[in-house]
Structure 1
């Protein structure tokens, strides 16, 4: 099993806060990799006024090809953080040339585009860079989006964090998602490392999605170019969430009704039963099979946790106003927020969605049996 940890805080925090929580839970991951998703950024990245930020790993030649492409499409560098490392990495960590986090000014004329077109073009450019990198194995790009930084690497999470000096002030953030990886593939592909991201939406999962193939086929049949990759069976959780938000126009309260819909006999008694019955039928190929615990972040910085019906993967939410954490194990939560009121800790069951909204005032729990908010 993998181990997951996510924090949402009014005050910017270091990624090491999440990495230390993974370290406490180290019996649940094998040290084969770590993934980080940072948003609601602080420091120099907070001052970029919506500039897109590119995160990835590059060879020296790949970096030249990146610069050539970005120049050709009109992007100019606004701020750059290059993580340079010693030539000899620690045991278990591959040797890399450059870890790059670079913000850009938009090309001339983009200010006249509507938001959806800008978002689409940013995604397409990220996909182009990914294809370029896969051709020559010189570029790995995780995200290209405003107010988002992603870092992934093979190796023990704490070892990687120390090697990359992740406790630097430029990487402080108010929302941090971290995964300690349990390798289930013979060869480790960093695109298979959680968290996954698409157009402001991120998720990470502890579990096994045995319904992966029909879900993947349904998503790929939508004709949306961002629904590709699938180096991990868990990436579909991100894309289902994106599909629900962007194409169906539904809020987070509906996510569970798509991935684990209620039985028909319960829908018959539900206040929104007729709508949910139609939703279940239309999205029947997105129903998951587990066990899975999913933690995610929405574009507005709302953070949530859900479980599937099997409820065989641990998960707990707790904290205090201004600082909450979602953790695979209680010990991760204890190590991060020891002074919380532990009587308010909540472990979501198969009907629950545990949510912390951007105001970070409380943990809100919604059940699939409750009435749903009106559609916009």
Structure 2
């Protein structure tokens, strides 16, 4: 089983704060791996490189050379990079890799004249190209290529990996939004691309659970002809793509996400104020309906963070915090470790109809039920 922990903060904080919370929940995960998504970056990424796409991944020496040639051929010029090649032996069970990298690029001439949609599709395609380039020899592993985003994935105990990579030492990777998951893909062969969180065009999510409707959902998403709806080494990656599809392609508020994942029954819809609209969503997106149990934590391009449960409600989840910082956790002990001085009476554990949201201002917890009327812009 996985354990999830996420932080959303008004000011950049160390990713080790989230990893420490995972460590407190260690009895609930097997310590086989860690995945991190860092957004709302501080340091130089915020002060000097705002808007520059950042490539994050793991590379051998030959992989870095091929990466440099590829990006140059596409008109991208490196502006700033964090390159970390460990000189010590990795923790037990962690392979010897090469260089862990986050590289910010100056975009080519004419880039800013492209629409945001075209820019996004090009960045996603470049990520997929580089991933394919590295598949045969394992010299290139790319987890994200997007502005204000760094992703880190590795096999091994989360706390040991965090210390091994010295994640507390470099304030340029401190972030306002941190998603952290503790567990590798132990159902099948270990593959870093199968490690949560998953990311596409500003939308990231991670899941604790099992998605038995994976195959029909994957096939439906692949049929949409959207760049990036591919790969799927994990059944949980579809949750990220459904959130992306809901918000970026259908143009809906994240409060409609639950209506796509787990629509209300016809009886429940009968007296709903948005019954006609929700019936249309239910009918048109029926192939995206999930089967659980699942708890999903994610973050959006606007800096919002959210949590939802499916109808089985068999995976734990709790949200709590104080003005300026909030945590989303699989267990209350993780929340206690990260934000011990919060008012615990204001913690919220979502049930099967609920969506929990904390906005980028980190002022308060907002909740909504599928029984509520949807926002007017829908």
Corresponding residue number in structure 2 for 1:270: 272
Match of 1:321 in 2: 323
Among 258, 261, 265, the residue aligned to 2:260: 258
- Aligned residues of 1:30 and 1:183 also touching (Cα < 8 A): no
**131-140 or 248-257, which deviates more:** 131-140
In structure 1, the gaps of 5 or more residues are none
Q: In the alignment, does 2:376 pair up with 1:374? A: yes
- Please give the alpha-carbon distance, in whole angstroms, between the structure 2 residues aligned to 1:71 and 1:277: 49
TM-score, normalised relative to structure 2: 0.98
Contact map agreement 2:35 2:181 (CA 8 A) in 1: yes
Shift of 1:182: 5.2
SS of structure 2 residue aligned to 1:280: helix
What is aligned with 2:25? 25
Aligned-partner Cα distance in 1 for 2:239–2:208: 11
- Give distance in 2, aligned partners of 1:182 and 1:96: 16
* Residue in structure 1 matched with residue 177 of structure 2 by the alignment: 175
The corresponding residue for 1:44 is: 44
For residue 135 of structure 1, report the CA deviation from its aligned partner: 2.8
Which range moves more in the overlay, 328-337 or 185-194?
A: 185-194
Which of 321, 329, 336 matches 1:334?
A: 336
Partner residue in 2 for 1:294: 296
Stretch of structure 1 that moved more, 256-265 or 79-88: 79-88
In 2, Cα distance between the equivalents of 1:375 and 1:280? 19
Distance 2:17 2:171 in 1: 13
CA apart distance, 1:340: 0.5
**In 2, Cα distance between the equivalents of 1:182 and 1:102?**
25
* Equivalent residue runs for 1:12-161 within 5 Å: 12-47=12-47, 48-86=49-87, 88-161=89-162
Moved over 4 A (4+): none
**2:228 aligns to what?**
226
CA distance in 2, matches of 1:68, 1:169: 29
The number of residues matched between the two structures is 376
The separation in 2 between residues aligned to 1:247 and 1:305, in whole angstroms, is 20
The alpha-carbon deviation at position 134 of structure 1 amounts to 1.0
Give the Cα–Cα distance (whole angstroms) in 2 for the partners of residues 206 and 182 of structure 1: 12
1:136 is paired with a residue of what secondary structure?
Answer: coil
**Equivalent residue, structure 2, for 1:345:** 347
Conserved? CA contact 1:29–1:182, under 8 Å: no
- State the Cα deviation string for residues 256-287 of structure 1 (Å, max 9, x = none): 00000000011111000011001100000100
Q: Cα deviation per residue 1:146-189 (whole Å; 9 max; x = unaligned)?
A: 00000000000001001000002111111101000154324210
